[in-house]
């Protein structure tokens, strides 16, 4: 009802004579045109200023309000902005494109209104896809630091045999597995003995490039999650680590993601033992690995030797599922927008075909074939959809950048802006195909009218 208020007011103000002519474009010299463009300029300037304030204050509510102001200003500028963009794009399509361009911009207000639904949908979808790509990249880096090893098999009781390593490497879902040398040690503050290990080749399997395993001499890094809340040690504590008769005084540091083992520098391990043996296997899973199944398969291998499994791959899988839901939701929004836009563009072309029946007949009489007529109408629809999509993509990426600055960097300080070019390219392609599909029925209807019948229409 609210949406119908302004159009119905315009309808009752139109005189019968004016109603027989197509609606004129917004004119800067008329009072309505001046007010419309002034209001659009105010909304744009105010919205951009508020977006700047929102980024400085990290205010999500202010960001949403400012984004609404900017987008409303763009919609009010539509009758002026969209036709100009259509002209620029249509200049690249040759003679048929120029004809299509003139037809598309003949009624600027109708053209802007027709593209508005697609513009809204593409802007929202682009912002969500870009935001999801940025968020996913940042979370990948964070989880890579928190769970650097996909699966860690740790044996605190005995060494890991070559046979066990071979069976792990043959397990479906394992891309790479490396043995980790160490020795079983008693660490002051821990109830049970744990392997103290070092891994010179950790970068082959670690998702953080092996940064977690690069420990300075004189320090021991312990997986705090592997020992639970009962862990009495604190970062910076100095503890005595004993392997047999050898001892070392080491400073405690914490990390997560590799199981119940202490990571030390190779020099530190050499002071504790001269006979280091494999006490762990660190595994990098393949991209298509199932976390639950891989964990179960490795459990069967670990149980007979008394080893434990730390399955960090489940965190990655959970993240993929959540972000997959968000991404498909965004694509669902795009699908709804495309359907709405397809109907709107088809209606506009249908009205255009009715209004220009005599014009099309004249063009046919002058030599324009049915094929060329259909191509002209298809180009007109594609122009409107592509222009709306490109404009929506630019605005959506801009909104995503503001969102990134406003709250993504606040939650994940190391996050970097990511633009999913492939996904955005697919969005543009889908929108262009939707415009082409919308032109099928109106173009067939126009092509079926013979030149003589078209010229005889009133």
Residue written as token pair 């202010």? 62
pLDDT digits (tens, 9 = 90+) for 263-303: 999 999 999 998 888 989 999 988 888 888 888 888 888 88
Burial degree of 321 (CB within 10 A; 0-12, 13-18, 19+): exposed
At 23, the pLDDT band (50, 70, 90 cuts) reads: low
Judge: domain 151-311, CATH 2.40.40.20.
yes
- 414 touches 142 (CB < 8 A): yes
Q: What is the pLDDT of residues 154-190, one digit of tens each?
A: 888 778 888 888 999 999 989 999 999 999 999 888 8
Q: How confident is the prediction for the chain on average, in pLDDT?
A: 82
pLDDT above 80: residue 330: no
| Residue 346, pLDDT above cutoff 60 | yes
Between the ranges 74-83, 247-256, 360-369, 423-432, where is the mean pLDDT highest? 247-256
* Position 453 pLDDT exceeds 80: no
Collapse the DSSP code of 153 into the 3-class scheme (helix H, G, I; strand E, B; otherwise coil) and give the result.
Answer: strand
Q: Write down the pLDDT at residue 440.
A: 81
Q: What are phi and psi of 219, to 5 degrees?
A: -130, 155
Cα 229 to Cα 223: distance, rounded to the nearest angstrom:
12
The pLDDT of residue 263 is 92
Q: Which residues are within 8 A (CB) of 118 and not within 5 positions of it... i.e. 6 or more apart?
A: 337, 338, 340, 341, 344, 345, 385, 388, 389, 392, 431, 434
Going by C-alpha positions, the residue among 130, 87, 93 that lies closest to residue 108 is 87
pLDDT at position 250: 92
Identify the pLDDT of residue 455: 67
Nearest to 268 by CA among 253, 257, 281: 253
Q: What is the pLDDT of residue 242?
A: 92
Per-residue model confidence (pLDDT) at position 32: 67
Q: Where are the domains of the chain?
A: 23-76, 78-144+319-455, 151-311
Q: Over the stretch 36-66, which tens digit does the pLDDT of each residue have? A: 888 888 999 998 998 888 888 888 888 888 8
- The pTM for the full model equals 0.70
């Amino acid at each position: 009802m609210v949406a119908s208020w302004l159009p119905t007011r315009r309808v009752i103000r139109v005189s019968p004579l004016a109603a027989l002519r197509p609606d004129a474009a917004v004119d800067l010299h008329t009072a309505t045109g001046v007010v419309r463009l002034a209001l659009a300029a105010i909304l744009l300037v105010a919205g951009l200023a508020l977006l700047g304030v929102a980024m400085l204050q990290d205010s999500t509510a202010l960001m949403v309000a400012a984004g609404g102001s900017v987008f409303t200003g763009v919609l009010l500028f539509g009758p002026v902005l969209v036709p100009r963009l259509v002209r620029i794009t249509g200049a690249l399509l040759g003679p048929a494109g120029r004809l299509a361009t003139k037809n598309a911009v003949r009624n600027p207000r109708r053209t802007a209104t027709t593209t508005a639904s697609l513009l809204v949908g593409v802007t929202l979808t682009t912002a969500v896809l870009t935001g999801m790509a940025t968020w996913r990249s940042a979370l990948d880096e964070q989880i890579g630091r928190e769970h650097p090893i996909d699966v860690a098999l740790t044996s605190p009781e005995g060494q890991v045999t070559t046979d066990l390593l071979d069976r792990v490497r043959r397990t479906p879902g394992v891309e790479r597995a490396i043995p980790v040398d160490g020795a079983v040690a008693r660490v002051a503050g821990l109830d049970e003995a744990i392997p103290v290990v070092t891994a010179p080749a950790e970068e082959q399997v670690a998702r953080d490039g092996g940064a977690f395993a690069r420990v300075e001499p004189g320090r021991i890094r312990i997986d705090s999650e592997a020992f639970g809340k009962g862990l009495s040690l604190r970062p910076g504590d100095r503890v005595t680590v004993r392997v047999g008769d050898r001892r070392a005084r080491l400073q405690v540091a914490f990390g997560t993601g590799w199981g119940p083992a202490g990571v030390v520098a190779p020099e530190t391990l050499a002071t504790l033992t001269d006979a280091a043996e494999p006490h762990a296997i660190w595994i990098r899973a393949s991209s298509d690995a199932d976390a639950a199944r891989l964990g179960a398969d490795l459990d069967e291998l670990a149980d007979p030797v008394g080893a434990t499994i730390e399955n960090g791959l489940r965190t990655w899988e959970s993240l993929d599922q959540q972000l997959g839901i968000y991404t498909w939701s965004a694509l669902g929004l795009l699908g709804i927008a495309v359907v709405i836009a397809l109907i709107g563009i088809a209606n506009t072309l249908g009205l255009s075909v009715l209004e220009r029946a005599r014009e099309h007949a004249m063009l046919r009489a002058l030599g324009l074939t049915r094929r060329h007529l259909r191509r002209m109408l298809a180009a007109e629809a594609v122009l409107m959809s592509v222009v709306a999509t490109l404009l929506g993509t630019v605005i959506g990426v801009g909104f995503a950048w503001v969102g990134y600055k406003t709250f993504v960097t606040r939650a994940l300080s190391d996050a970097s802006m990511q633009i999913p070019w492939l996904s955005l390219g697919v969005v543009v392609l889908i929108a262009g195909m939707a415009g082409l599909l919308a032109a099928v029925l109106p173009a067939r209807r126009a092509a079926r009218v013979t030149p003589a019948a078209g010229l005889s229409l009133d």
